Structure 1
Amino acid sequence: MNDSQTAHLEKRVAYLEETNLFKMMALELTRELGEFHSSINKLETPDIIFEKCAVRIRQIMGFRQIAFLLVDENNSDFHLSCCFPEAGKEILEKEIDLLIEDGTFSRALLEKKPVTAYSADFRRQLLLHVLSTVSRVRGMVVGVLEKNAKYIPEACFELFTILMAHCANTLESFELYSRLRDSEKQYRLLAETAGEIILLISGSGKIRFANEAAFKLSEYSRQVLTAMNINALIEDYPFTKVKGHEGETGFYAALLLSRSGKKIPLEINIKPVFNGDLPTGNLIVGRDISERIKAEKEKKTLEEKLWQTQKMEAIGLLAGGIAHDFNNILSIIVNYTSLSLSGTPEKSLVHGHLKKVELASKRAVHLARKLYTIGRKDEHQKKVINLVSTINETIDLVSSSLGKNITVIPEMAGGALTVLAEETRIQQILMNLITNAAHAMGNTGGTITVSACKTIVLDVSTFPGQGLLPGDFIRLSIMDNGPGIDPKDLPRVFDPYFSTKNGEDNSGLGLAVVHGIVKHYKGAVEVQTQLGLGTTFHVYLPEAGDFPHGQQ
C-alpha cells in the first residue's frame, strides 16, 4: 500500500470514527435527557434545566458564554433568564439588543436552526437558536463561540438542534407538571389551550376526554367526539396502541380521520393510565405534522431549483465554446454563399458549395436544439435511456468549451448500457464531472477518459453513508491525468460551495449536485485520486434491466 492509499485510508478511518463519535454523543444525549425528563415534575424552577443544557452544549461545541432567554407571554418580549458564566452578562445583553434591532433575532425565530452573527466589534461570533415546540416559541439561546463556526463540524450543529428541541420540550413539560401540581382545574385549562390534541381513552376504547385542539382538528363537536370509539377517530389504532404498550419510547405515526373525510397525519405518543396498579385506559398526545410534511415537499422543490440553477451555470460555462462554433459555422455560410455567386449551373462547383452551406446550417440548428434541450426546465420524469448515446452527445456538446489542449476520449463497453433516469440529469452529471476534470488540469491540458460498463456490487461497505443496496449497476467513470486531489480536501469535495478553484465561475456546486442526483437515483459516487497522477470519479447507477427503451 503506497503513501497516498495509506493517507486515504487514514482519512476514511478518521471520518468513520468522527461519525461514530457523534452517533454515540446523540445516543448519550437522548438517554440523559430521557432520564432527566422523568424527574421534571419534582423541579420548582427551570434553572436546573438551563444548567444541565449548558453543560451538554459545551460538550457539543465550545462556548465562552451561554445565555438562555425566555418569552414573556404577556407582551411577547424576551428576557434573560440565565447566563453561564454570569461575568460579562451586561456586555452580552447589549449584544442581544443589537441582534434584536438588526433582525437577526427574527431570522433565528423563523429559520428554527442555528444562526450565526458577529458582535458589534466583529471580534466575536455569536450563535443563536430558538427554543420552540410545535405549539409555540419558548425562548432563545445565545452563545459566544470559542472558534469560528466554519471550523465546527455540521454534525455538531445537528446535535445542537436536537438538544435545543429537547430543551424546549423539557421547558414545556416543566410548565405542564407545574400546572398539574396546582390543581385539576389548571390541568384541564392547560389541556384545552394546548396546541397538541389530547385524548383520554377508556379500557374499552371510548373517548372519555378530548381537548379543544382535538375538536378543531377532527371537526367533530364535543358531544359527538366524546361519544365515539378511538378506532373511529385514529386509523389502525390497535396496531399503534400495541407498539406503545410494548414499552417502545418515542412518537408514532398515525392518521386522524376527520368528519369531512380528510386523513390528517399525526405524530402521537401513547401512555397507559393507571388507577393504582390497575390500568384504566390510555392517554394520547398527538400533534399535526401536516406542516412538517409540507416543509419536506418544499425542500424537495428547492432541491429541484438547485439542480435547475446549476444547469444554467453549466450552460454559461459552455457559452464561449458554443459561440466559437457558431462563428465558424457562420463563416462557412458566408464564404460558400459568396462563392455561389460565381456560377449557378447544377453541376457546377456552386452546387457543391451550396450543399456545404446546407450541411453547416443543419449543424447550427442541431447545436441550438441541444442547447435548448439542456437549458429548458424539466419535470424530472424517469425513463429507460441508453447511456452510450447520451455520453457521446454530451461529449460532443461539452468538448468545444474545454479548449484545444484537452482531449475527451469515450470508451464504452459492448452492448446496451441502460439506466432508469432522466437524460438531462445524466447530462448534468457528465458535464459537471468533465468540466471539473478540465478545470483541475488547467492550462497544462491533458486527457479525460469517459467510460461506462456493467458491474455487480455485492459489498456495499465500500460506499459508507450512501445507502447503496447490492445489485446490478452501470458504472460511469470520468478519469483525468491532472494533478489529483489533496487528501485533506477529499472529505469535502461533495460539500456545497466548497471549491479549491479560483474565479467567479466556480460556485462549488458542481460535485454537490452530482452527489444529489446520484443519491436520488439510489446510486453512489466513489472517488479515486493520487497526487500527480490524476483523479477518477466512479458513478454507480442501478441498471434498468430488460425494459423497452424509453419505458417509464
Structure 2
Amino acid sequence: MIGKTLVRFGTGTLSARHVAGQDQGENRVEVSYTPPLGANRSILFKPQNWVDGDFEYMILIGQHASVEQAELAVQNERRLNLALRSGGYAVWDHDFRGNVTYNSPEMHDLLGIGRESPGIDYHQFNEMIHPDDRDKTLDGMIRTAPFGSDLFQTRYRVQTQTGSYVWVESIAGVIRDPIDAPAKCVGLCRNVNDQMLALERLRNSERSLKRTQEAAQLGSFSLRVESGVSRLSAEMAALIGMADAVIHPNLPVFEQMIEPGDKEKFSEALELAKLGQPILALEIAVRLRSGDLEYFSCTIEGERSAAGRVETLFGSCQRITERKGLERKFLQAQKMEAVGQLTGGVAHDFNNLLMVVMGNLQLVEQLVKTDERASKRIRAAIDAAEKGSELTKRMLAFSRQQTLQNKELDANSLIVRMQDMLMHAVSANVELKIMPAEGLWPIKADPTMLETAILNLSINARDAMKPKGGHLTIETSNRHLGPELLADHEDAVAGDYIEIAVTDTGCGIAKENIEKVFQPFFTTKGPEAGSGLGLSMIYGFVKQSGGLIKIYSEVGHGTTVKLYLPRGKAAVDALSPPGAPDELRGQIERELSDTSGNGGKKPIILVVEDNAQVREVAAAMIEEMGYETLLASNGPEGLALVEERSDIDLVITDVIMAGGMNGPEMAAKARAIRPELKLLFMSGYAPGSVRQMQDLPESVELVNKPFTRTDLTDKVRRALAA
C-alpha cells in the first residue's frame, strides 16, 4: 500500500469523485481489496478534516465486521475527547508496575509545561501537589482506601511551572491486580481555581456575616408561604437560648415564646409581608426558656416568584434589650427632669407668696406685742407658713434647685449624734442598730439635708415595719465605684464614695413601684400618712451633691436604701450644728431694737427684686433694723441707682429676675463701677445649684426665700462686715 495512490485500491468502486469529496452527500467510502497474497479485505475511507484544499482521511483496513467496530470505537473516542475538551478536563493514565505515565496534551496545558515537553510521571506529579493536600490525592487514597473503594473525587492545589498554585479537581479510578494491589490508575483533571477562589471569598463573606450578626446580636428566619416550612438561623437559635436544643427550632417555636401582648402584632406582620408589604423595625418581647425577657426588632420582607406571588418570607431579628432599657431610663430621666422643673417653678412662686405672708406676719407681730391673743394667732400663722416653707424646700431639693450649705463633715459623727432623735422617731418595737465603719472618709455635703435624709429614711422604714416592728440598721462604709457599677447612673462619675445604707425588715417595695418612689407626691401610704415628697427630697439632695442612690427591695423581706456621697478632701473637724451661733443670734435680736450704734449714719441698702410684694416686705424688715432703703424692680433700675448714688453701702438683689438683666449680671456691673460695694443675694429658685449655675463665689452671702427677720438680719450684718 505504501507509495500507491487511493485510486489504485479496490475494484473500481472507489471513484475519483469519492476521493476528491466532491459528492457532499457521502461522508464515507468503503471498498473491497484483495492483496496479491492475502484474503479479501475491506478498506474504509472517511474524510476527517479539510486541510489546504484537500481532505485528511481516516483509513481502516480489515475484515468488514472489525472495520465497523473500529469505526464505532473511533467515533466514541472522538465524542469522548470532544466532551472532555468541552468540560476542560485533561486525561492521565499511570501504570504502577511499569512506572509509565500518559498525560494528554490538555494535562500539559493545565500544568503549564508545554505540549512539546516529554511530560511528567506519577512521582513528579505528586511532588507538584501542595504538601497540605497530598494526603487527599491518589497516593494517600491508594494507601488508605479499602478494597472495593477505588473510585474517588477530590480537589487539591498543584504547582505549575510558573511557581504558583492552582486548584485542580481530580476524578480517578484505581485498577487492582488479582491480589488487590494497585496496578493502574486512570483519571481526569480540570482547573477549578476560579471556582475555589470564589468559594473561599464566599466562605470569608459568610464568616464575616456570622461575626457581624453575632456582634450585632442579629438572627434570621425564613418561611415558605405555601408549605409553611420555616427555618431559624443558628444565630437566631442562640439569641433565643435554644442553640443547644436537640431539635433545631423553627418559626412556630419562636412564635410561642413571644409575649402574649405582642403575638397578635407579629402574626399580623407576617400576613402583611405575605401580601408584599415590607415590615420594618417591628419590636416584640420574647420570654426565653430561662425566664429572662428579651426584646427584638424584626424586619420581614417577601421574595416574589416570576408570577409576582410572594413565595418566601425572609426576616431578621436584632436583640435590643439593652437599648430598650436605656430608652426606659432616658424617658424616666426626662420625666423626672420635667417634673423637677415644674416642681421647682411651683416652689419658686410659692416661696415668694410665703415670703410676703411670713414677712408681713412678723412685722405685724412687732406691732401687737402687748396683745397676747393677737400674738398667739400671728405665731400660729407664722408656724403654718414655716411648714409651707419646709414643703417648698423639699420640692426644691427634688428638683435639685435647693441652695446647699456644703461643708466637710464626718458622716459617722453626724449619724451617732442623731441616735437619740432616731430612737424617738421610730416606734418602741423597732430595734435600731448603728454600724459606723472605721476609717470612714470625710464627705462634703449639707449636714442639715443629710440629717433630714437619714431621718426620712428611718421614718419610712418604721412605717414599712408596722405594726409588728422589726430591725432598722444604719451602716456606713468606704466604696470605690467603677464604671461597671455606675452603668445605670449615666451622670455619676467613677471614684471614691462613702455609702450610707439604711436597711429595714419591713414589707418591701413591689417591683413595679421601685422606679416610681422618687417621683414627687408618689406614696403607697394612706392619704393621712405622708406627702410623697420624702424620697423625692432625698433623691434631689443626693443628685445635687454629686452622688447617687440605689434601692434594693424584696416584698415580704425588707428594703435597703443606699446613699453614695462623694469623698471629701479635707480632714474632718468636730461637726458643729448648722445655723448661726447662739451668741450671734442673741446679738442680732438685741440689735433689732437698737439702731443707734452706727456712728450717726444709717447704712443705705438698695433692694433689687422684681416681685413688688417681696420687695416691700424685705424693705420693711431692713428699715426695722434701722437702715435706709432704696428700691428697684429690675437689674437696669438697680444699676442706674448705683451710678446715681455713691452712698449705697449694700446691694441686696434677687438672683433670677425679669427685665433683661439677672442679679449676678447687675452685681458684676455695679462692682465695676464701685469695687468696694457690698453684695447680698436672695434666692427662692434657680436652675440647679445657685452658686454653681450663676458662678457665685463662696465668699458672697446668699439668703434663701422665704426668710425670717432673724435670717435677713444675720445675712445683712455678715454682708456689711465682709
Same fold (TM > 0.5): no
Bigger relative CO (Cα 8 Å, ≥ 6 apart): 1
More helix by share: 1
Alignment TM-score, normalising by the size of structure 2: 0.27
**Structure with the greater alpha carbon radius of gyration:** 2
Alignment TM-score, normalising by the size of structure 1: 0.34
